[in-house]
Amino acid sequence: MVTYSTRGTCSKQIIFDLDAENKIHNVKFIGGCSGNLQGIARLVEGKTPDEVVPLLKGIRCRQNTSCPDQLALALEPYMKNAPAQT
């Protein structure tokens, strides 16, 4: 289980699992817009970070980020060719 603390969004944390095949499961957002975040969680279920990050990274809402953008940031280190963390 991975727990990621968000910045600049209504949700405060994102919790998710990655299986042995690097597939995403059990995404849960703590706080935020429940219906929208449940939808995002269902859409990414069973996908890999390599599939999800390019779709969600850069989506803006408040404070120049969004819950989907924060999920992309949480998943980025688990991409096959993950960019170096700065």
Encode pLDDT of 26-71 as tens digits: 999 999 999 999 999 999 999 999 999 999 999 999 899 999 999 9
Q: Which residues pair with 81 in a beta bridge?
A: none
Q: Which domain holds residue 10?
A: 2-78
Residue 83 lies in a domain: no
Residue 20 lies in a domain: yes
Residue 15 lies in a domain: yes
Residue 63 lies in a domain: yes
Residue 62 lies in a domain: yes
Residue 86 lies in a domain: no
Site of tokens 């700065």 = 86
Total tally of structural domains belonging to the chain: 1
Q: What is the pLDDT of residue 85?
A: 52
Residue 67 lies in a domain: yes
Give the predicted TM-score (pTM) of the model: 0.90
Residue 16 lies in a domain: yes
Average pLDDT, the chain: 93
Number of C-alpha atoms within 13 angstroms, CB side, residue 21?
Answer: 7
